Amino acid sequence: MKVLIVKENDVMIVNLYGRLDARTAAEFEKKIQCDLVPVKKNVCLDCQELEYISSAGLSALILLAKELKSNDCALVLSNLQPMVSDILHVTGLIDKVFTVQP
């Protein structure tokens, strides 16, 4: 998995590439703890190149959402691939935990 973070105005844009699964979730969590949470900005995860997400990946995203919320910041997911969108809908996380934009 590759993670590219870009600051755009008051939002951190995070581009995700590849798979967010049991093998890559710990690395992703470490990166967000170091690079995103301390900045205290709203975050947009651009998932256009995110091919797959597992339960470990979902846990990492939920952790990020909670961390951001505790800092009065928001997490928005954008450009979801159909498989990722389906997983988020089936788990009931859309609108309950995550805000999604096209």
What does the pLDDT read at residue 38? Answer: 84
pTM, 2 dp: 0.90
Determine the pLDDT at residue 76.
Answer: 96
CA distance 56 to 97: 16
What value, to the nearest 5°, has the Cα angle with vertex 61 and ends 99 and 54?
A: 110
Domain 2-101, architecture per CATH: 2-Layer Sandwich (3.30)
Q: Which amino acid is at 54?
A: S
pLDDT over threshold 90, residue 32: no
Give me the residue spans of the domains in the chain.
2-101
